[in-house]
Amino acid sequence: MEGKGKGIKTLGLFSSLVIALAVAASLTITVYGQQLRSTAQTKQAISRLETNTDRFSKSIDGALDRSRLDGTALEDQINALVDEFEFATDRLKDRSDDDVVLERDVREVLRRGMRLDTFMKTHHLSSFVQRDWSRVKTNLDYLARSYRVAWAWTQSESPALNRASIREVIRRLEQTSDEFRASFDDALDRSRLDGSQYEDFMNNVVATFERSVDELEKQINRSNELNPADIRLTLDNAATIDDFVKKQDLNMRARRDWSRVKANLDDLAFLNQVAWDWTARRSSSVAVSYPQRAEGERVSLTRMTKPSSSAVAREVRHELLSNLPYYSVFDWIEFEVLSDNTVVLRGEVTAPPDKKSRAEDVVEDVAGVTRVVNEIRVLPVSPNDDRLRLALYREIYNFNSPLFRYGVGSRQAIHIIVEGGRATLKGVVDTEGDKNLAYARARGVSGLFEVRNELVVDGDRQLPL
């Protein structure tokens, strides 16, 4: 199946639409056993699901092209939801063919189906689309019954159901953290770090992370509420582990298990409306200390070069991430904190809505900011630029693209800025190869006059890990 672009985290998935869907959808699943037994009937059911998903994908694509959503950022987000669902059903089909269906494969298909169902109930497209989606839902119901998964198509914005979603995320986080700890210990024992002080240090970091997850579980069970400071502590400890996993040559099992932990942490941040990305940390709770960054260095919403910057810089970045719900992959905002705590905003944003004035209002309310200089440029409205944005987005984030993973998480790592038929790529990638690949894929989009590659390689960060 061909995808239309991946703009959101699988687990999720990450823009204002996805946050709303994550809060709206309550899903409690109980699955018996790690590996599920496939029968001839379940294999046929999965084949029907794949066929009907293909049909639904084509019908919703045509309906969106004929709707008022055509060419909008919301269409991109919807396409990303469909792509994620298709990817999950394809993987389930492959697992079924090999007789190795795992509980998380079934759970992922159902969870992503829930998010699509939320959209389908709030946006009435053609009768053909509704009919095709109804067939998919019937297949999903049969799939859940066949594998003995407790399932209901329930959605609500009530606090009780949101708490149920958070409980489920924490349960999955506990499970995936335990699996990662086992594979992490094994990977360290086989590495050159075995027996070193560095190994002891990282074991302490992982143990601290596990305790922070345990504390979240106690809080949700005790009072149905989570302390935002404890959520932030959990995420900051996880960021330290993430740096280590990226920089050390661990085995595939440890890296795979850690990616599952990260996906659940992204869901936790979304459901609790905590601004978060994997390139930033809070100096108040990180296990590793970093040298102070001189004021005046530019900081983007995608990347903070040395996260222990001034308190004003950290707070400005946090507030912008938290209070700009329409900030998207097609926008870029960075800022500079001067010695007198004047904040200079720069970058380019699309319109509507008015993200430029909104950003200024948000920063003005930050404690310690003396003045705001707003140099953000609003890009001119252009149907041709909109077409190029969509084409670039699909080329880079298509689910079969090697760059697909950069759409996973709370925000897309590669931003696409288009003006007058000229594109600029901004953001952070893991390797020089990925930077060059993004540039090559962008150059392959017809109709562009120029492509500038301003992506930064993650290894350029001056971090002691």
- How much is the pLDDT for 414? 93
Can you name the residues that pair with 419 across neighbouring β-strands?
A: 422
Q: 383-460, what's its fold?
A: Histidine-containing Protein; Chain: A; (3.30.1340)
Tell which residue, 348, 332, 344, 334, has the closest CA to residue 372: 344
**What is the distance of C-alpha 176 from the center of its chain?**
17
Query: How far apart are alpha carbons 227 and 220 in whole angstroms?
Result: 9
The tens digit of pLDDT for each residue in 451-460 reads: 999 999 875 4
pLDDT of residue 282: 37
| Cβ pair 155, 114 in contact under 8 A | yes
Altogether, the residues listed in the chain come to a count of 465
Measured CA to CA, the distance from residue 164 to residue 168 in angstroms comes to: 6
Q: What 3-state class would DSSP assign to 425? A: strand
Residue 343: per-residue pLDDT? 92
Q: Which two tokens stand for residue 280?
A: 């930033």
pLDDT value for 308: 43
Q: Of the CATH numbers 3.40.50, 2.40.160, 1.10.3470, 1.20.120, which one belongs to the domain with range 27-146?
A: 1.20.120
Tokens for 357, please give them: 């004035």
Residues of the chain scoring pLDDT < 70? 1-37, 73-74, 76-77, 103, 122, 149-162, 273, 275-297, 303-309, 408-411, 459-465
Match 């469909």 to its residue by tokens. 82
Q: What is the DSSP letter of 376?
A: P
**pLDDT reported for residue 29:** 31
**Is CATH 3.30.70 correct for 159-271?**
no
Give residue-wise pLDDT tens across range 117-129: 877 776 777 888 8
The b-or-e profile of 106-140 (16+ CB within 10 A means b, else e) is bbbbbbbbbbbbbbbeeeebeeebbebbebbbebb
Sign of CA dihedral 443, 445, 401, 173: positive
Q: Would 299-378 and 383-460 be classified into the same CATH topology? A: yes
d(CA 155, CA 149): 18
CATH of 299-378, one of 1.10.10, 3.40.50, 3.30.430, 3.30.1340: 3.30.1340
pLDDT number for residue 265: 84
CB 372 within 8 A of CB 363: yes
**Helices vs. strands in the chain: H and E counts, helices first:** 13, 8
d(CA 333, CA 376): 7
Q: Which sign, positive or negative, has the C-alpha torsion 429, 434, 435, 438?
A: negative
For the chain, helix, strand, coil in percent to 5 are 55, 10, 35
Cα–Cα distance, 360 to 373 (Å, whole number): 8
Residue 6 CA to residue 77 CA, distance in Å, equals 8
**Contact 423/452 with Cβ under 8 angstroms?**
yes
Map out the domains of the chain as residue ranges: 27-146, 159-271, 299-378, 383-460
DSSP 25: B
Distance CA 435, CA 424 (A): 12
pLDDT at 419: 93
Report the distance separating Cα 301 and Cα 426, nearest Å: 11
Q: Are strands 371-374 and 342-349 parallel, antiparallel or unpaired?
A: parallel
CA separation, residue 325 to residues 72, 317, 410 (Å): 15, 14, 12
SS3 418: strand
Distance (Å, rounded) from C-alpha 263 to C-alpha 112? 13
pLDDT, position 15: 38
Residue-level pLDDT at 158: 46
102 forms bridges with which residues in the sheet? 35
Structure tokens at 425: 């790529």
